[in-house]
Structure 1
Amino acid sequence: MYAILDIETTGGKYNEEGITEIAIYKFDGHKIVDQFSSLVNPERSIQPFVVNLTGINNDMLRNAPKFYEVAKRIIEITADCVLVAHNAKFDNRILTTEFDRLGYNFDLKTLCTVELAKKLIPDLPSYSLGKLVRTLGIPLSDRHRAQGDAKATVTLFKLLLSKDTSKEIIQSLVRKDPKRQLEPKLLDIIATAPSETGVYYMHREDGKIIYIGKSKNIKKRLTQHFTNDNRKSKRIQLEVTAVTYEETGNDLIAQLKESDEIKCNKPLFNRALSKTIFTHQLTSFIDEAGYMQLKIEKADGRKQAITTFGNYQQAKSSLFKITEEFHLCQKLTGLSETKNACFLHSIKECHGACINEEAPDDYNIRVRQFLDKYSYENQHMLIIDKGRGVDERSVILIENGQYKGFGFYNLNFQINNIEVLKTIISPMQNNRDAQHIIQNYLRKNKVLKTVHLTTDNVDSRN
């Protein structure tokens, strides 16, 4: 049984393409016995040249199903089939990459009708699908659309089967995607890895950790490590003999754990990641008129930072959002160098601190509201989020503005005393990288809740 398919994509960088349309015909060697086709929302923009080529644009895909919504149907229709496509290496790579993102090992034998045609019908001027089917008199409608190209490939494949009377050529051309041609030890490592969020540790034969990483899908990330052909990946593939892992339940703890353990273990292949992960910071000062001003600066450990950023553009973008959210003044947040009223004042979003129309005490109230929300300086708090199972939660302890560590607790366990809480916390280093990870995560993501601590108990705030 054969699954003959065609895929249209967004275009873009290698292994970053997304599927925009897919068509599959299940073919028993004589007739089509099942079929499936659908537009797919790739959750990314389509390259302009692809729009011109296929006619598929972003508006057409806005309400289309995402890949995970059609994945089950693809698995069903291709089960126990040989995958057939024109340039099968490309289609199979795209498809396996999408399934890798879901943590599913999609692994079918493949046949390429380009290679088959070159063997069975040699010396043609071109083996592109359009020119090949035209030469062979095969009808082709909707060129560069998945259903039209896949249907033409069915007819082409049927013709090629009839020409292969000995069947030896087809058998010799059946192959797995080179992406899957891994050493048995690497395949075994991938097979036993979970498709969960956590931190993983690559070990050399003597047990020494040579690389530490984190991922929202450990199996997928290991697959990328072991199929990548850059210099670093190849060295890792040669040296790794085992991978251990720890699930964390959420990405925040995975990031904190990865950062801390890279610093402690200094693995051979983590040299770049052991450096500081932020370049800019946000500070505050009170000007001569009594207004609290905010300022983006290059990271400087000698100064107290409100929060930190991975790069200047991230800092500037975040500060624009903060300024708008708290109705601050662009002039006093360093986003406008005007000597007069700032732009937000002209649209009544700034209350006039830029031209001394708003009293400093009134303006500073909103600045402090921002500080209370985004900075945990001098705060006692817990950050509670998903755990490693449905009956578990994770907890991060911040004490007097210092990151103390993280732990996990069962939902049946009541955290109502700071000393009891400390017994389940794994102590971690409080450094600026950890503070950056926490602040950056809280700016971009929602956690289940934060809990502000008193001396002996807690008051929760969602």
Structure 2
Amino acid sequence: MYAILDIETTGGKFNEEGITEIAIYKFNGHEITDQFISLVNPERDIQPFVVKLTGINSNMLKNAPKFYEVAKRIVEITEDCILVAHNSSFDYRILQTEFNRLGFDYKKKTLCTVELSQKLIPDLPSYSLGKLVRSLGIPVTDRHRASGDALATVKLFKLLLDKDSNKTIVRDTVKKEQPETIKPKHLDLIRDLPNITGVYYLHNANGDIIYVGKSKNIKNRVNQHFTGTSKKAKHLQKQVSSVTFEACGNEMIALLKESDEIKSIKPYFNRALTRNVFTYALYKFTDENGYINLSLDKADGRKKSITTFTNKQSGTHFLEKMVEDYNLCLKLVGLERTNKACFNQSIKKCIGACIEEESAETYNKRIQELIKKYSYEHQNMIIVDRGRTHDERSAVLIKNGVFKGYGYFNLNHQINNIKILETIITPMENNRDTQHIIQAYLRKHPKLKIIPINLEA
């Protein structure tokens, strides 16, 4: 659990500043669960430049509570939390100074979003909160007021959690939160898990991730792990000490994230899942008469494929549908072996490419349309799907036919500006598994929104 905060102060000499406003949002990694926002009477003068910057003046604070009156609420909302702030050393120092004046020893673990941003989003011109969130397309209201800046930090931290592909933040958090008491029961671990689509992580007592999985219903799937009776399941059950998860919003993001993190984290219990998720692929070749033929064959990484399939049956079903959708020849797509006209030509469903009655030029145009739609080769596009909340959408970026990664956005200008889009995207490796996941998902969801992008914009 995190307590994301922002503090406005009077300014002045080091360790003589007073708090004028404080905002704290309790955040579980997915959503805000509690909040505390208040003006504070600092019982001292406010520096003129601070008044000009924040708009907070002494008259506004005359009837505001003094720090000792809000101290208990601050302790309560930050209990068992890691403090998160933009330049956390400043906010944490101010809090400790105020508590020290009351004779209370206030100690917390902290995370700094400046340091995290520099690590996870390198090479930006500025890491000040205002310029950073602007470059990421994150909207900010009430800049230089505690609530507005703290909310912007929540959104920034959520993005940083997405970009933390090694799960360093989550692992460290789990390790810090591990109670030095009896091991929790499995029922306790699944109690607060949601019934949503996403990726889940099973951790051991050291916070290390020992298993990564994806599901359309995280709670039910983790429960299956804990009720399994196989030798592997029982071995896993003995080692699990905590469970974390990430909402994905849709199955494509969940599949991509699961595949990527199994490869990068290499959890002990995922060893059997590092193999390819497809076995058959669709290839093309041009025959002696100039017609583009399609061929379904076992996947071969040395050969360039149009798209891939989990098994031969799914590939055959796809070809049968393409014959209908694009009016293709059964013979030229490899579904019928004959030296004569294909069956569909005899019932007037094939225009006659198999016996050269249709020209190679017109037939090949339809084949090229199919290839363009299902291979995304050389294309620049964004695949838009459901996000994690009702007002959010996910974006999968394909650049020059190469999968670059995924991200989430709330505002259209975030994906219409290629520079902002590439900044909010969580990078992922482009490999045969990711290509298969994306292509299979596009086949399954043909009405998915796809936006062509102009790289010159």
Flag whether TM exceeds 0.5 (same fold).
yes
Secondary structure class of the residue paired with 2:416: coil
Residue in 2 aligned with 1:53?
Answer: none
Residue in 2 aligned with 1:400?
Answer: 400
Secondary structure class of the residue paired with 1:419: helix
> Offset of 1:450 from its aligned partner?
0.3
> Offset of 1:417 from its aligned partner?
2.0
Is 2:371 the partner of 1:363?
no
Deviations along 1:360-415, one digit per CA (max 9) or x if unpaired, are 00110110111121110000010000000011000000001100000001136442
Residue in 2 aligned with 1:235?
Answer: 235
Is 2:421 the partner of 1:421?
yes
Is 2:292 the partner of 1:281?
no
Quick one: distance in 2 between partners of 1:208 and 1:338? 58
Please, which moves more after superposition, 367-376 or 426-435? 367-376
Quick one: distance in 1 between partners of 2:228 and 2:347? 51
Is 2:215 the partner of 1:215?
yes
Quick one: distance in 2 between partners of 1:345 and 1:412? 48
**What one-letter code is carried by the residue in structure 2 that aligns with 1:431?**
N
Q: Is the 8 A contact 2:414 2:420 kept in 1?
A: no
**What one-letter code is carried by the residue in structure 2 that aligns with 1:245?**
F
Is 2:381 the partner of 1:410?
no
Residues 59-458 of structure 1 mapped to structure 2, 5 A cutoff = 185-411=185-411, 413-446=413-446, 448-457=448-457
Shift in CA distance, 301/454, structure 1 to aligned 2, threshold 3 Å = same
**What one-letter code is carried by the residue in structure 1 that aligns with 2:363?**
Y
Q: Is the 8 A contact 1:391 1:411 kept in 2?
A: no
> Offset of 1:317 from its aligned partner?
1.5
Quick one: distance in 2 between partners of 1:403 and 1:304? 16
Quick one: distance in 1 between partners of 2:247 and 2:456? 31
Secondary structure class of the residue paired with 1:271: helix
> Offset of 1:447 from its aligned partner?
5.7
Secondary structure class of the residue paired with 2:348: coil
Shift in CA distance, 360/412, structure 1 to aligned 2, threshold 3 Å = closer
Q: Is the 8 A contact 2:405 2:426 kept in 1?
A: yes
**What one-letter code is carried by the residue in structure 2 that aligns with 1:390?**
H
Q: Is the 8 A contact 2:184 2:241 kept in 1?
A: no
Secondary structure class of the residue paired with 2:256: helix
Deviations along 1:240-276, one digit per CA (max 9) or x if unpaired, are 0001111000000000000000001111111121111
- Matched-pair identity in %: 55
Quick one: distance in 1 between partners of 2:210 and 2:344? 52
Q: Is the 8 A contact 1:416 1:456 kept in 2?
A: no
TM-score, normalised by the number of residues in structure 2: 0.59
**What one-letter code is carried by the residue in structure 2 that aligns with 1:187?**
L
Secondary structure class of the residue paired with 2:379: coil
Shift in CA distance, 412/363, structure 1 to aligned 2, threshold 3 Å = closer
**What one-letter code is carried by the residue in structure 2 that aligns with 1:228?**
G
> Offset of 1:446 from its aligned partner?
4.5
Quick one: distance in 2 between partners of 1:401 and 1:274? 24
Deviations along 1:334-377, one digit per CA (max 9) or x if unpaired, are 11001111111122221101111111001101101111211100
**What one-letter code is carried by the residue in structure 1 that aligns with 2:281?**
Q
**What one-letter code is carried by the residue in structure 2 that aligns with 1:419?**
K
**What one-letter code is carried by the residue in structure 1 that aligns with 2:286?**
I
Quick one: distance in 1 between partners of 2:404 and 2:455? 16
Deviations along 1:106-137, one digit per CA (max 9) or x if unpaired, are xxxxxxxxxxxxxxxxxxxxxxxxxxxxxxxx
**Larger RCO (CA within 8 A; separation ≥ 6):** 2
Please, which moves more after superposition, 297-306 or 430-439? 297-306
**What one-letter code is carried by the residue in structure 2 that aligns with 1:255?**
L
TM-score, normalised by the number of residues in structure 1: 0.58
Q: Is the 8 A contact 1:202 1:212 kept in 2?
A: yes
Structural RMSD (CA): 1.4
Deviations along 1:8-66, one digit per CA (max 9) or x if unpaired, are xxxxxxxxxxxxxxxxxxxxxxxxxxxxxxxxxxxxxxxxxxxxxxxxxxxxxxxxxxx
Q: Is the 8 A contact 2:197 2:215 kept in 1?
A: yes
Quick one: distance in 2 between partners of 1:246 and 1:447? 26
Quick one: distance in 2 between partners of 1:244 and 1:453? 35
Q: Is the 8 A contact 1:417 1:456 kept in 2?
A: no
Residue in 2 aligned with 1:74?
Answer: none
> Offset of 1:184 from its aligned partner?
5.5
Residues 38-77 of structure 1 mapped to structure 2, 5 A cutoff = none
- 5+ residue gaps, structure 1, are 1-182, 458-462
Quick one: distance in 2 between partners of 1:430 and 1:184? 39
Q: Is the 8 A contact 1:386 1:448 kept in 2?
A: no
**What one-letter code is carried by the residue in structure 2 that aligns with 1:406?**
Y
Quick one: distance in 1 between partners of 2:184 and 2:403? 42
Quick one: distance in 1 between partners of 2:346 and 2:189? 60
Quick one: distance in 2 between partners of 1:306 and 1:220? 36
Q: Is the 8 A contact 1:385 1:447 kept in 2?
A: no
Quick one: distance in 2 between partners of 1:446 and 1:196? 23
**What one-letter code is carried by the residue in structure 2 that aligns with 1:282?**
L
**What one-letter code is carried by the residue in structure 1 that aligns with 2:268?**
L
**What one-letter code is carried by the residue in structure 1 that aligns with 2:288?**
E
**What one-letter code is carried by the residue in structure 2 that aligns with 1:444?**
K
Shift in CA distance, 367/206, structure 1 to aligned 2, threshold 3 Å = same
For this pair of structures, how many residues does the alignment match?
275
Quick one: distance in 2 between partners of 1:322 and 1:302? 25
Shift in CA distance, 282/419, structure 1 to aligned 2, threshold 3 Å = same
Residue in 2 aligned with 1:35?
Answer: none
Q: Is the 8 A contact 1:383 1:447 kept in 2?
A: no
> Offset of 1:432 from its aligned partner?
0.4
Shift in CA distance, 412/294, structure 1 to aligned 2, threshold 3 Å = closer
**What one-letter code is carried by the residue in structure 2 that aligns with 1:425?**
I
> Offset of 1:456 from its aligned partner?
3.6
Quick one: distance in 2 between partners of 1:223 and 1:419? 42
Q: Is the 8 A contact 2:386 2:394 kept in 1?
A: yes
